[in-house]
Amino acid sequence: MIYNNLIEAKKNGQKKLAVLIDPDKLRLNSMDHIIRNSVDHNIDYFFIGGSLIVNDQLDEVLGKLKEACDIPLILFPGNSMQLSYKADAILFLSLISGRNPELLIGTHVISAPYLKLSPLEVISTGYMNIDGGVSTTVSYMSNTNPIPKDKNDIAVCTAIAGEMLGMKTIYLDSGSGAKFPVSKEMIESVHGAVDIPIITGGGIRNPEKAFENISAGADVIVIGNAIENDPGLVAEMAAAVHSKNLKV
Ligand code: 1GP
């Protein structure tokens, strides 16, 4: 089980790197480089998802990844149409930073029976959109306001509420391509307030920032754009994220 493995890793102080693949943006032929580097450098997860469905390549992308490697494939869906049995797990996202009932519980009701029957491992996730300094797709598409980037107390209280509601992870996301990634201080504050694993992403462009995030208490680092633009970055990102892991 992917979640149990994450909890185990958290107990042992091990950190995880997830490479985000947006099936819409990625040309299938440019995936080979990313997959090869991801396997060579032992990344922990592929997250697969995006905001739109323009090219409808989800199944194709999942099929290609599955064929090429054993890295767990976790859906990170932008909407309830981005579901597929070909993945291993799904982040069942509730946008707890927002006040849009559809994204707190509405779309979940629609997809729940599908997920119940599916072989996917469902990982309930308190998803928090943090202001990344540019008007990112998440706030536009979700019709919600992000949490201001310096309001650590709001982030902490939101994360505590998510944990108390039974969510299994907290995802602090400043949005794909964010100018300002989630701050170290906010990650530290949330880390000090909840026991569940913390996922962070949005605008992480270099290994120094990835390292800063894990040092602040993040358990999983998600990187999309930077690796899409330069698949060679996987090596440095993996080295930074895994640098504190105990060798076995
Ligand atoms: C966005 O956390 C992800 O949801 C990744 O963001 O594409 O900026 O790395 P980037």
Terminus-to-terminus CA distance in the chain, angstroms? 20
Mutate to test the pocket of ligand 1, among 125, 223, 230 (most ligand atoms within 8 A of CB): 223
CB 213 within 8 A of CB 199: no
Q: Which SS3 state, helix, strand or coil, does residue 172 take? A: strand
Answer yes or no: is the ipTM higher than 0.90. yes
Question: 177 in ligand 1 pocket by Cβ < 6 Å?
Answer: yes
- Ligand 1 centre distance from Cα of residue 157 (Å): 23
CATH superfamily, region 2-242: FMN-linked oxidoreductases (3.20.20.390)
Distance CA 197, CA 171 (A): 9
Stated pTM of the model: 0.97
Q: How confident is the model at residue 247 (pLDDT cuts 50, 70, 90)?
A: low
Question: 173 in ligand 1 pocket by Cβ < 6 Å?
Answer: yes
CB 171 within 8 A of CB 124: no
**Domain range list for the chain:** 2-242
Q: Evaluate if residue 50 carries a pLDDT over 50.
A: yes
